[in-house]
Amino acid sequence: MTDFHPSCPAPVGLVRPVRVDPDGDSGPRRGTAAGPSWRTSSHGLVVPAHVPQTVEQRILEAAVRLPEGGVVTGWAALRLAGAAYYDGLAGRTPRPVPVLLPHTSRIRGPGVLVERTRGRLPEPVVRHGVPCTPGDLALLHELSRATSTRAAGVMVDMALAAGVVDLEGVRQVAAVRRLPAAAAYALERACAECRSPRESEMLQVWESDVGFPRPLMNRQVLDLSGRVIAVVDLLEPESGTYGEYNGASHRSRERQRRDEARADALRGVGLEGFVLVAGDSERVWRERMSSARGRALWLREDQRRWRLGAFVPAPPLPDEDEEAFEALMLEHYRSLE
């Protein structure tokens, strides 16, 4: 289990760039703009130097350069809709902001990835002052640039987890488009029960690589009295196999103590588990999954000493608690190392 949260809080403190103004009325004069109090966001546009260069601020700074009819799309539109996975990074390198423009339009300056269309552009959804494509189309645009089927699968699962798209809606839009193979795979096997990127990867290895039937994700395990023993990342009720992904937050002594107590309680009711940790190879993942499933008891439902509980979605975001959210995202970045 990681501490990643699929949703991100609404951005605060976004500052729209202003143009350098020779008269100093609507913006700073050129000399002032060149000083330490201002930062150039693009040609002729500046923001106060103290404004943090968050991912949302970077999207806004790109969006102010959009020509008429242009919209932000792809990861940037999904981020502004509230999907935390779309952090605008390739490793630690900022990715260009994807924009969709009418065929004859142009946009000046670096930092954008341009896609043009001869067709009718979608009705924009304005998010935090930025015109965006609707979530389903933004996801399809992002899927078209997926580097692998695995990455495409995570993209879809994390958009679903954040609640920024509806799977059937995306599939309907996709039905009239020509999709790359990775996008078609991702929409076919999509799972709305994964709460983190690593859970999505674990599910895809279980299903696509090892070839096991689809399990349940993020389900309660109850004892026969109805008490919750644990919420496990992956569960195959038929075999009695469960799986967990433990990120960096599980390395503390207290967390390890709780994890061992939890594992012991699950063994006590006859469940067989595997644990994946950061740094494991996918070969290790496959071996642990197969080994645990091979050891499982495969009991009939009336023989089990446990009961299946409810699906547990991600908890609500902390109210106005930026520090707590930053801690969640730090765990996300560590899990990618």
Contact 335, 5 (CB under 8 A): no
Q: What is the pTM of this model?
A: 0.91
Assigned domain for 126 exists? yes
Residue 317 lies in a domain: no
**Can you give the pLDDT at residue 32?**
94
pLDDT exceeds cutoff 80 at 6: yes
Same domain, 98 and 133: yes
Would you say how long the chain is, in residues?
A: 337
Tens-place pLDDT, residues 273-309: 999 998 899 999 999 999 999 999 999 999 999 999 9
Mean pLDDT of 227-234: 96
CA distance 163 to 7: 8
Q: What is the mean pLDDT of residues 15-42?
A: 93
Residues 241 and 285 in one domain: yes
First CA to last CA across the chain, in angstroms? 16
Q: Does residue 241 share a domain with residue 109?
A: no
- Residue at token pair 């996918």: 282
Query: Is 141 a member of any domain?
Result: yes
Determine, yes or no, domain membership for 65: yes
Tally of structural domains, the chain? 2
Would residue 13 count as lying in a domain?
Answer: no
User: What is the pLDDT, as a whole number, of residue 337?
Assistant: 35
Question: Quick check: is 2 in a domain?
Answer: no
- At residue 256, the pLDDT reads 78
DSSP type of residue 320: T
pLDDT the model gives residue 246: 87
User: 168 and 262: one domain?
Assistant: no
Give the phi and the psi of residue 150 in degrees, each rounded to 5.
Answer: -60, -45
- Provide the pLDDT confidence category of residue 143 given band limits of 50, 70 and 90: very high
**282 belongs to a structural domain:** yes
Structure confidence at residue 111 (pLDDT): 93
CA of residue 305 relative to chain centroid, distance: 36
Q: Domain for residue 327, yes or no?
A: no
The closest of 99, 167, 177 to 133, measured between CA atoms, is: 99
Residues 150 and 225 in one domain: no
Residues 59 and 173 both lie in one domain: yes
Of all residues in the chain, what percent are helix, strand and coil, respectively (each to 5)? 35, 20, 40
Whether 86 and 189 share a structural domain:
yes
- Domain stop point among 193, 223, 254: 193
Give residue 67's domain range. Answer: 18-193
pLDDT, residue 262, reads: 93
**Same structural domain for residues 43 and 158?**
yes
Residue 122 pLDDT greater than 50, yes or no:
yes
At 191-230, the pLDDT tens digits run 999 999 999 999 999 999 999 999 999 999 999 999 999 9
Question: Do 114 and 25 reside in the same domain of the chain?
Answer: yes
What CATH number does the domain containing 275 carry? 3.40.960
Q: Reply yes or no on whether the pLDDT at 330 is more than 60.
A: no
Q: Say whether both 119 and 237 belong to one domain.
A: no
Pairing of strands 306-311, 45-48: unpaired
- Given a cut of 80, whether residue 2 has pLDDT beyond it is no
Q: Which residues pair with 140 in a beta bridge?
A: none
Residue 14 reports pLDDT greater than 70: yes
- What confidence category does residue 334 fall into, taking pLDDT thresholds of 50, 70 and 90? very low
Among residues 193, 213, 233, the one where a domain terminates is: 193
166 and 253 co-located in one domain: no
Phi, psi (deg, nearest 5) at residue 231: -110, 115
Instruction: Based on the fold, state whether residues 206 and 186 are members of the same structural domain.
Output: no
| pLDDT tens digit sequence for 79-121 | 999 999 999 999 999 999 999 999 999 998 889 999 999 988 8
Phi-psi region of 116 (alpha: psi -120 to 50; beta: other; left: phi over 0): beta
Q: So what's the pLDDT on residue 333?
A: 41
